[in-house]
Amino acid sequence: MRAPVLTQKRAKSLRRLMSLPEVLIWTRIWGRGFRRQHPLGAFILDFYRASDRLCIEIDGQQHELAKDQARDALLLAQGVRTVRIPAADILRDPDAAAEFILSL
């Protein structure tokens, strides 16, 4: 699904402003089929692997459970599976978090 132009521009901007947990994961999964800050429809996915339609979301304090669940349901209806990982877990052990992601 093609993203609107404004969503594409926002995704490009977010690639330059990645959070520390996102950077820690990206340096470990880069080159393994993932895209970062990938626009998909109206959404921007933290990390996306198109080969199996997998979305990885890094959840920090700014995430709202109800909105996240609604978003995940909409993505699932489009065939995109979402896995959420708390930012604190990544900061605690980025290698283990990356291994988990790559095992999916």
For residues 75 and 6, is the Cβ–Cβ distance under 8 A? no
What 3-state class would DSSP assign to 77? helix
Q: What pTM was computed for the model?
A: 0.91
For residues 39 and 8, is the Cβ–Cβ distance under 8 A? yes
Give per-residue pLDDT as tens, 14-64: 899 999 999 999 999 999 999 999 999 999 999 999 999 999 999 987 778
Q: What is the pLDDT of residue 62?
A: 75
Domains and CATH numbers, the chain: 5-103 (3.40.960.10)
Has residue 92 got a pLDDT over 90? yes
Has residue 1 got a pLDDT over 70? no
Tokens, residue 95: 């290698």
DSSP string, 28-62: HHTTTTEEEEEEETTEEEEEEEGGGTEEEEEE-TT
For residues 36 and 46, is the Cβ–Cβ distance under 8 A? yes
Q: What is the pLDDT of residue 11?
A: 87
**What does the mean pLDDT of the chain come to?**
94
Q: What is the pLDDT of residue 7?
A: 86
What 3-state class would DSSP assign to 89? helix
